[in-house]
Amino acid sequence: MLVLGRKELERLLTPAGVIRAVESAFARYARGEATVPSRLALTAEEGGLLLVMPSSLAAAALGAKLVSVYPKNRERGLPTIFATYVLMEPGTGRPLALLEGGFLTGIRTGATSALAARYLARPDSRVIACFGAGVQAAFQLRCLATVFAVERVLVVGRSRDRAERFCETMARELGVPVGVAETPRQAVSQADLVTCATTSPTPVFAGTDLRPGTHVDAVGAFRPETREVDTETVARARIVVDTYAGAWEEAGDVLIPIKEGAISRSSVHAELAELVIGAKAGRQGRDEITLFKSVGSALEDAAAARLAYDEARAAGAGVEVDLG
């Protein structure tokens, strides 16, 4: 079995490569060639949570991601989230690889958002408002910058100091001006594309501030009682979700407005796979507001893990471990 740590994955996986991999995976999903059960959640000690996310991609990939979420780890100086992915051979069940799951999750989430934005954002989108100044926000920007000719980024974060450090890092990496917005309204009112990658349980901006033609990308909330975007945003937008199954269980951004009576399930235009195979259309007009809501799918993990494994074998990367 091959062991691939974060450093190996950083060398092996690129945003462009993962975007292609998840696009292929969603096409398989649309054709009925993938199985993605609901994630299993187990409450653990110290307020911790263990998530198990299995999936199968026909003859391409079989595996599961294990994610532990321990909010109290902040007090211990430890990461709040640890993740590991186990990739197996579909035909035999033989373990192929053990992969560090944090980088894998970050890049597949960003890649899926970028894929959706290709169908939903205006092609000439140049200015991004980024809510969040953490690890996932960085992945969102890297992947979106692969698809769009980004010229400027406005960042909104809870901590001014952290947001400024984030801006410095991303400006060097992207090669464009990245600055802290004074208010959410200032960021949103100038943006062509808004990406939200926060842990906020409540909306981070007002939907009334969105300009016509804006695309909104929301990936931070993954519980039915939490959301990053408000009812106004959802009511104004053409809504696409990563998968219907995940949205109906976990997407508070959509479920709360449904509960309020502002929209219905039929207001959700499509799941991403339908856009990928052309079964449903993406953006329909320059002034249309669009929303992509993602809670994350094990389908994306399987695609990224298989790509990493194939690239590692080709490059002779990773550490081989004999499990006997």
Handedness of CA 235, 241, 247, 252 (dihedral sign): negative
Residue with tokens 């709360």: 256
Question: Cβ atoms within 10 A of the Cβ of 82, count?
Answer: 16
Catalytic residue among 7, 65, 72, 280: 65
Is 65 catalytic? The answer is yes
3-state secondary structure of 314: helix
d(CA 308, CA 196): 26
Q: Which residues contact 212 (CB under 8 A, 6 or more apart)?
A: 286, 287, 288, 289
d(CA 88, CA 111): 23
For residue 89 the two structure tokens come to 């051979």
Cα 237–Cα 240–Cα 244 angle in degrees, nearest 5: 135
Catalytic residues: 65
